[in-house]
Amino acid sequence: MRLKYVLSEVMVGLWRNVTMTIAMIITMAVSLTMLGASGLMYLQVDAMKDAYYKDIEVSIFLDAGVTPEQVNQLQSDLEANPLVREAQHETKEQAYERFQKLFADSPDLVKAVQADKLPESFRVKLVNPEQYQQIFDTYKDREGIDDIIDQRRLLEQIFSILGAIQNMALASATVMAIAALLLVANTIQVAAYSKRREVAVMKLVGASNWFIQAPFVLEAVVAGLLGAIIGFGALVLGKIFLLDGSLRDLTDLLTPVEWSTVFLMFPFMAGVGGLVSAGTAWVTLRFYLRV
Amino acid sequence: MTKTYPKASRPSLDSVSVSIEKGEFVFFIGPSGSGKSTIIKLLLHEVTPNKGRVVVNQKDVTSMRSWKIPNFRRSIGCVFQDFRLLPNRTAYENVAFALEVIGKTKAVARRVVPEVLELVGLGGKEHRYPHELSGGEQQRVAVARAFVNRPLILLADEPTGNLDPDTSIEIMRLLDRINRTGTTVVMVTHDSNIVNQMRRRVIEIESGRIVRDQARGVYG
């Protein structure tokens, strides 16, 4: 009976003030969509880092006039270096073969480049790709070395773009969340005001505090959860129409976003939406329903 | 005990000490602003004294934890000058509401509420809304709501303030009957007629101090 009472109070509360309820749900949904998107982005960047950093290499390009002794010396030095997992020497011929393969669909380019124009190099895999700078410092001044290039640098530019998008999503999620919180607080105040007579009687006859507050808190939680469901729907649509639709080429190039990752966002969004609304409602009631 | 409201120049109640026995019927009288209503608020723990203690039913209300207050209030019934009924509920629903919000089932309400409405003389009017009842009848509903939990104490803050003399006397008969069941009744009033007719203990307060405490007293 008490549960039924509380639930019917929640429904009545949401209906009584339906425009405010809708506004609350919409802002909550937009905020949670942004939050979900940035969460997705965060997991995605992580997955990409895992996928790419495994194969990442530091390329040490050698001077054209490097001597075989210098090459051998560098080879044994690299192999002795504890930071290096694997060092592979690539001769001019091997470099040319790879070049041919890489640009197989542009034969003009392949024809224009002669085999001996490509530099000899070492392809170095590091134990920890973050320690590129130490490798660079150790070898940059050595005789016979032309240039040292870290593939990580190139990837990091992509990651920093993704990071910026993620920060933007988080910032707009925060701004929308503040709006949502104020709307929750306002809705609860209005609800508490419109039920002030009931609340006064309940206090007078000794209804417990949770019983007085539960309908209001649940009202906010229901709105928060509805917002999370709508926000999750927006994420699903985004996955179908954007990631698998118009941005298909881009997502194929990078790591594709899995459905499982998208679904992982729902409990996250619902949890944040529900808890934040409940917290706001509870704090608001502290001020408006003094015992 | 002493109670000073914030921003007040003098205490609402100044070093007042009263002891009321179980089953007594007590009037607090005095002019407006003398501090009578503060007594009710203190007994309900709506306000707390600045100095001293309020002990109800052997429990120190002053130091009571806030989460225990709702349960404490269940042992006290309350009636006010303005009735404080819920306008969108019938007489029956108003009384049943008081039961349901403290966790009693609908079945209990169905058994107890008609009984208590009968007791206050509203048999047959259970399904009237407050605006369909006279002032006296509304106050009877309020008394029924206050009494339905069989409280140990009934507090009445000028319960006849909005009623004509004849109706007032009917309400007083009702309170008297409730008192005879063993319930302590504490009533704040400045209705001299009623006090004079009832001839019960009278405590007079003026400017926050007790100036008279008389068994079987009359209004000044």
Band (A1; pLDDT cuts 50, 70, 90): low
Which of B150, B174, B191 corresponds to the end of one domain? B150
Check whether residue B183 and residue B208 sit in a common domain.
yes
Domain membership flag for residue B8:
yes
CB B191 within 8 A of CB B31: no
Are both B2 and B71 inside the same structural domain? yes
Residues B124 and B155 in one domain: no
pLDDT at A195: 85
Substitution target in A12, A205, A286 with the highest count of B β-carbons within 10 Å is A205
Q: How confident is the model at residue A142 (pLDDT cuts 50, 70, 90)?
A: confident
Chain A CB contacts of B69 under 8 Å are 206, 291
According to the model, what pLDDT value does residue A290 have?
A: 66
* B80 occurs within a structural domain: no
Q: How far is B93 from chain A (nearest CA, A)?
A: 12
B31 at A interface, C-beta within 8 A: no
SS (H, E, C) chain A: CHHHHHHHHHHHHHHHCHHHHHHHHHHHHHHHHHHHHHHHHHHHHHHHHHHHHCCCCEEEEECCCCCHHHHHHHHHHHHHCCCEEEEEEECHHHHHHHHHHHCCCCHHHHHHCCHHHCCCEEEEEECCHHHHHHHHHHHCCCCCEEEEEEHHHHHHHHHHHHHHHHHHHHHHHHHHHHHHHHHHHHHHHHHHHHCHHHHHHHHHHCCCHHHHHHHHHHHHHHHHHHHHHHHHHHHHHHHHHHHHHHCHHHHHHCCCCCHHHHHHHHHHHHHHHHHHHHHHHHHHHHHHCCC
Q: Is the pLDDT of residue A113 over 80?
A: no
pLDDT score, position B103: 87
B97 contact A CB<8A: yes
Residue B4 and residue B65 in one domain: yes
Q: Which of residues B135, B150, B165 is at a domain's end?
A: B150
Q: A130 vs A184, which has greater pLDDT?
A: A184
Same domain flag for B155 and B124: no
Residue A45's alpha-carbon distances to A8, A40, A266, in angstroms, are: 45, 9, 19
pLDDT digits (tens, 9 = 90+) for A158-187: 778 878 888 888 888 888 888 888 888 888
Q: Considering only alpha carbons, which residue of chain B is nearest residue A197?
A: B86
What range does the domain containing B44 cover? 1-75+151-220
- Assess if residue B173 is contained within a domain: yes
Partner residue facing A197 (CB), from B72, B86, B100: B86
Residue B81 lies in a domain: no
Domain check: are B52 and B95 in the same one? no
| Residue predicted with more confidence, A115 or A87 | A87
Is residue A143 over pLDDT 80?
Answer: no
CATH of the domain at B61: 3.40.50.300
* Domains of chain A by residue range: 2-52+156-288, 64-143
Whether B69 sits inside 8 A of A291 (CB atoms) is: yes
Last residue of a domain, one of B109, B127, B150: B150
Is B84 part of the contact surface with chain A (CB cutoff 8 Å)? yes
Contact A203 B70 (CB under 8 A): yes
Structural domain contains residue B17: yes
Residues of chain A neighbouring B40 (CB-CB closer than 8 A): none
Give the pLDDT score at B114. 95
Same domain, residue pair B143 and B193: no
pLDDT at residue A87, as a whole number: 81
Residue B65 shares a structural domain with residue B156: yes
Q: Tell me the average pLDDT across A51-73.
A: 79
Whether residues B12 and B23 share a domain: the answer is yes
**Chain A residues with a Cβ under 8 Å from any Cβ in chain B:** 1-2, 5, 197-198, 200-209, 211-212, 291
In the predicted model, what is the mean pLDDT of residues A115-129?
79
Instruction: Supply the pLDDT for residue B57.
Output: 86
CA closest to B148 among chain A residues: A205
Picking from B97, B103, B105, the nearest residue to A201 by CB comes out as B97
Classify B50 as helix, strand or coil.
coil
Q: Residues B7, B38: one domain?
A: yes
- The stretch B109-116 carries a mean pLDDT of 94
Architecture of domain A64-143: 2-Layer Sandwich (3.30)
Region B38-58: mean pLDDT is: 88
Tell how strand B201-206 and strand B209-214 pair up. antiparallel
Query: Is pLDDT of A132 > 70?
Result: yes
B100 in A contact zone (CB under 8 Å):
yes
Which tens digits make up the pLDDT trace of A67-83?
A: 888 888 888 888 888 88
The domain tally of chain B equals 2
Q: Is the pLDDT of residue A253 over 70?
A: no
> Per residue in B67-102, pLDDT tens?
889 999 999 999 999 999 999 999 999 999 999 888
User: Could B73 and A206 be called an inter-chain contact, meaning their C-beta atoms sit closer than 8 Å?
Assistant: yes
Cβ-Cβ contacts under 8 Å, A201 against chain B? 84, 86, 97-98, 101, 145
**A204, B101: Cβ pair inside 8 Å?**
no
> Which residues in chain A have Cβ-Cβ distances shorter than 8 Å to B102?
205-208
Contacts of B74 in chain A (CB under 8 A): 205-206
How many whole angstroms separate alpha carbon A120 and alpha carbon A137? 20
pLDDT of A54 above 80? no
Query: Sign of the C-alpha dihedral, residues B182, B184, B188, B192?
Result: positive
The pTM assigned to this predicted structure is 0.72
Among A106-115, A230-239, B24-33, B112-121, which is the least confidently predicted range? A106-115
Q: Determine contact: B73 vs chain A, CB below 8 A.
A: yes
Instruction: Verify that B114 and B220 share a domain, yes or no.
Output: no
In this structure, the answer to whether residues B71 and B172 fall within a common structural domain is yes
Q: State the pLDDT at residue A241.
A: 85
